[in-house]
Structure 1
Amino acid sequence: MTVWRGKYPLILASQSSARQRLLGNTGIQFEAIPANIDERAVQQSAALAGAGDIAAFLAREKALAVSMAEAESYVIGADQTLAVGQTLFTKPAGRQAAAEQLRALAGRVHELHSAVAVARAGRILFETIDVARMTMRSLSDAEIAAYLDEAGESVTSSVGAYRLEGLGVHLFERVEGDHFTILGLPLLPLLNFLRSEQLLAI
């Protein structure tokens, strides 16, 4: 028995290994086709300021971009933003930028806004957004340097320079929110939608 019951393959419009792993762990067969969009340019053109609004907008744009070429398939788009108050963070460009982000986040609470959208035939059928609150512990420069030494280049692949499912867990004293939201894909509401469309066997 296969979990996916759709006539056409489910598509995840993301190159994120974390999102691919999360969806793959559900047993659902899918294809990963990253959306070919310039996220920062799209974000700027939309003139949005709120972290949640930006995540929701980009999730929709990713789903729609791939859906235009794969009209028969259900296409999942997802995005996540990290904010401290009104200050948004992006993926650090290198070790120095990662260290700067960690110094800015250390000892403070930041929010992860994770959005997911599903499109078919160029139309959004479902979307939702969830928020997790992350309290990073105070970190000395020596601790930041030790973390960066151990984590290596992986720090440039995630906003905030951490992956909670790996070494990043050492940086936190409190986490409030859904595990899947923290990893960038609000999975439970997504599965509920797919189930409502009679696309899942379970």
Structure 2
Amino acid sequence: MLERAGIACETDIPAVDEDEVKQALRSEGARPDDVAATLAELKAQRVSRRWQGVFAIGADQMLECEGQWLDKPVDRAGAAASLRLLSGKTHRLISAVSVVCDNRQLWHHIDSAKLTVRPLSDAFIDSYLDQMGDAAFSSVGAYQLEGLGAQLFTKIEGDYFTILGMPLLPLLGFLRTHSVVPA
């Protein structure tokens, strides 16, 4: 997303056990917004340790539907189960971004969007997953709005980039104020 927006960046995968963090925060009564923010900051902190003097950007996304948190499905059965759960319902997608430099959080932002999934038949879900292939396992909810996933929805309220996984416009604003990108 950053590269498509013209931002030169390096990708550095942080070693974060997201499931462990989610379970711990959930047991403490954390809201999905708090979990997304915590994971975004933790990812940026881990990367920041390896890149001194550099803005490390971490992002995370949570999906909440009727009190349930959905993760990226690990297989076709999990993707189908996610789609069945979302079918005919409105869910909230929460995206958080954090900027850390030298192990100090400089900025963070959380945004959310509401997405309403049309009622999905089992035949549609099977066809959709056939067409999506392994891409269905790469995002929470088993969809990518920017592609075939657009067919799932009847209504969307919120920022497009937040839905894609990161509140990009506020991040670009922060980066402009720090002369990382031209104003």
Task: Give the shorter-chain TM-score range.
Answer: over 0.9
User: Is the alpha carbon distance of 1:183 and 1:53 closer, same or farther for their aligned partners in structure 2, counting shifts above 3 Å?
Assistant: same
Q: Which runs of 4+ in 1 moved over 6 A?
A: none
**Which has the larger displacement, 96-105 or 40-49?**
40-49
* Residue 192 (structure 1) aligns with: 173
Residue 56 of structure 1 aligns to a residue in which SS? helix
Matched to 1:29, the amino acid is: A
Structure 1 residue 38 and structure 2 residue 17: aligned? yes
What displacement does 1:38 show?
1.0
Structure 1 residue 91 and structure 2 residue 75: aligned? no
TM-score, L = length of structure 1: 0.86
Identity %: 47
- For residues 136 and 127 of structure 1, what CA distance do their matches in structure 2 show? 29
RMSD: 1.1
Q: Which runs of 5+ in 2 are unaligned?
A: none
What displacement does 1:49 show?
3.1
TM-score, L = length of structure 2: 0.95
* Residue 181 (structure 1) aligns with: 162
- For residues 139 and 85 of structure 1, what CA distance do their matches in structure 2 show? 17
* Residue 44 (structure 2) aligns with: 63
* Residue 31 (structure 2) aligns with: 50
What displacement does 1:78 show?
0.2
- For residues 65 and 23 of structure 2, what CA distance do their matches in structure 1 show? 19
- For residues 45 and 130 of structure 1, what CA distance do their matches in structure 2 show? 22
* Residue 26 (structure 1) aligns with: 5
- For residues 129 and 182 of structure 2, what CA distance do their matches in structure 1 show? 43
What displacement does 1:28 show?
1.4
What displacement does 1:139 show?
0.8
Matched to 2:2, the amino acid is: L
Aligned 8 A contact 1:80 1:112 in 2: yes
What displacement does 1:48 show?
4.9
Deviations along 1:12-32, one digit per CA (max 9) or x if unpaired, are: xxxxxxxxxx11112111111
Aligned 8 A contact 1:48 1:54 in 2: no
User: Is the alpha carbon distance of 1:134 and 1:187 closer, same or farther for their aligned partners in structure 2, counting shifts above 3 Å?
Assistant: same
Q: Which runs of 5+ in 1 are unaligned?
A: 1-21
What is the aligned residue count? 181
Matched to 1:196, the amino acid is: T
Matched to 1:73, the amino acid is: V
Match of 2:147 among 166, 171, 182: 166
Aligned 8 A contact 1:50 1:86 in 2: no
Structure 1 residue 116 and structure 2 residue 93: aligned? no
Residue 77 of structure 1 aligns to a residue in which SS? strand
